[in-house]
């Protein structure tokens, strides 16, 4: 028997399914790959997340895709990516997502450094609105980080691959991304089970990076378990400093609720001078 390869290696023009034509590979996690594709159903670009060929028969990989499909079917918010359809039973189990056009926050910060207040304040308020909604819904994203945010108007949170209901979230350990994990995601024995406050941490760590141009915590292991976050640049407005450090409190109960993050930042945004863009008065 010939072993299946780890990648589909779809190139531009290759059919992924009868209706989906590959444009290019966007990325891939351990269990599946993400492709930009053209979709004959919606007649639009879409993103296809397809289980890797060597894992099509793997229960664990399929369970992950099922979880993502369930999350996409449950979550419905303007700041969160939306699912279009899925096929869990074909030889190429996949989910089809709307394609969100724009750079990832991680790419912007890497290329151009810190964001302007006019960019990071709406970003933070929009992400806070998504978290407020998720909390009400009883779900946690658990992987909020700059590479899972696509910058646009509004910004959009992608990658529901580890999102789950709060009861399940509370039982997780080390689910997420090391550098952006809340203390309770990294060490639930010490800080209690992950939940909505873990996403508040994720948003504050994400916005911190947008404001500063560097991470709140850096280094091997989990510096967020024992160290204090780095200083924010001196130019940072006091309200921003206060709410970001509050969101990075080690104990989940000490962190603000999502709507409190938005409330703290709205007055700062209101102080921003309006910018003229394309003839419209906008920020």
Ligand X SMILES: Nc1ncnc2c1ncn2[C@@H]1O[C@H](COP(=O)(O)OP(=O)(O)O)[C@@H](O)[C@H]1O
Per-position x/- string for 110-149, each x denoting binding to ligand X as judged by CB under 6 A, each - no binding:
-------------------------------------xx-
Q: Is residue 250 within the footprint of ligand X (CB under 6 A)?
A: no
- The CB-side HSE value for 79 (13 A sphere, CA atoms) comes to 21
Q: Is residue 154 within the footprint of ligand X (CB under 6 A)?
A: no
113 binds, among ligand X, Mg ion, none (CB under 5 to 8 A by kind): none
In terms of Cβ atoms closer than 10 Å to its own Cβ (0-12, 13-18, 19+), residue 164 is: buried
Question: Where does this chain touch ligand X (CB under 6 A) — which range of 11-19, 94-102, 124-132, 236-244?
Answer: 94-102
Give Cα 4 distance to the centre of its chain: 30
Kindly give the residue spans of alpha helices, DSSP state H, lying in the chain: 59-74, 105-112, 117-137, 166-169, 183-186, 188-191, 196-212, 238-247, 258-270
* Residue 163 or 243 with smaller CB distance to ligand X: 163
Give Cα 100 distance to the centre of its chain: 13
* Residue 30 or 90 with smaller CB distance to ligand X: 30
Q: Is residue 61 within the footprint of ligand X (CB under 6 A)?
A: no
Question: Cβ 114 to ligand X, closest distance in Å?
Answer: 21
β-sheet bridge partners, residue 34: 27, 49
The residue within the footprint of ligand X, chosen from 20, 50, 79, 81 (CB under 6 A), is 81
* Residue 33 or 249 with smaller CB distance to Mg ion: 33
Is 87 among the catalytic positions?
Answer: no
CA–CA distances in Å: residue 255 to residues 40, 60, 258: 46, 34, 9
Residues forming contacts to ligand X in the complex (CB under 6 A) are 26-29, 34, 47, 81, 97-100, 104, 147-148, 150, 158-159, 161
């Amino acid at each position: 028997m010939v072993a299946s390869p780890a990648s589909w290696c779809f190139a531009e023009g290759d059919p992924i399914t009868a209706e989906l034509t590959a444009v290019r590979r966007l990325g891939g996690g351990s269990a599946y790959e993400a492709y930009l594709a053209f979709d004959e159903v919606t007649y639009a670009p879409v993103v296809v997340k397809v289980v890797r060929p060597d894992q099509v028969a793997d229960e664990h990989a399929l369970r992950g895709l099922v979880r993502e499909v369930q999350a996409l079917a449950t979550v419905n918010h303007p700041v969160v990516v939306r699912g279009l359809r899925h096929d869990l039973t074909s030889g190429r189990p996949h989910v089809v997502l709307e394609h969100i056009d724009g750079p990832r926050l991680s790419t912007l910060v890497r290329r151009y450094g810190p964001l302007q207040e006019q960019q990071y304040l709406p970003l933070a308020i929009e992400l806070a609105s998504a978290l407020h909604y998720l909390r009400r819904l009883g779900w946690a994203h658990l992987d909020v980080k700059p590479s899972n945010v696509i910058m646009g108007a509004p910004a959009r949170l992608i990658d529901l691959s580890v999102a789950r209901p709060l009861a399940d979230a509370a039982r997780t350990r080390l689910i997420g991304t090391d550098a952006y994990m809340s203390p309770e995601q990294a060490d639930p024995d010490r800080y209690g089970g992950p939940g909505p406050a873990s996403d508040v941490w994720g948003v504050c760590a994400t916005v911190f990076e947008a404001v500063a141009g560097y991470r709140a915590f850096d280094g091997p292991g989990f510096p967020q378990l024992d160290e204090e976050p780095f200083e924010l640049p001196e130019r940072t407005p006091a309200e921003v400093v206060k709410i970001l450090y509050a969101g990075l409190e080690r104990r989940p109960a000490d962190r603000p609720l999502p709507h409190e993050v938005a409330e703290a930042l709205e007055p700062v945004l209101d102080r921003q001078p309006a910018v003229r863009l394309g003839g419209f008065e906008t920020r």
